[in-house]
Amino acid sequence: MTKNPFINALAGLLYISLVATLMFYGIADKFDNTILIPITMLSLFVFSAAMMGYIFLFTPLQLFLEGQKKESVDLFLKTLAAFAVAAALFVSAGLYLTAYF
């Protein structure tokens, strides 16, 4: 991805938001009690792990292989921290909205 941890974290959040929106509005009621539900969920899990791995690990791994170990670790940890803060804000907003609306 990029060397900007905030953009990487945002890309991860956008991907998760897109998948969650599609699941909530798009296909939630299309697979009523069929074998397609576990197949779809496991496929989505594998694809999501690969996608998030690419978003979070591709650039740090490139930096690491180029010998820039400190920059690699810093970028990875900053990306994780930015993602954790953003995820905590989403959870807090969700709890606030469900409590008061």
Per the CB < 8 A criterion, the answer to whether 8 and 55 are in contact is yes
Tokens 């979070």 locate to 56
In the structure, what pLDDT confidence band is assigned to residue 88 with cuts at 50, 70 and 90? very high
- Which pLDDT belongs to residue 9? 94
Amino acid at residue number 45: F
Residue in 92, 98, 86, 101 with CA at minimum distance from that of residue 17 = 86
Is 70 exceeded by the pLDDT of residue 29?
no
Amino acid at residue number 94: G
pLDDT tens digits for 39-64? 888 999 999 999 999 999 999 999 99
Q: For the whole model, what pTM was predicted?
A: 0.80
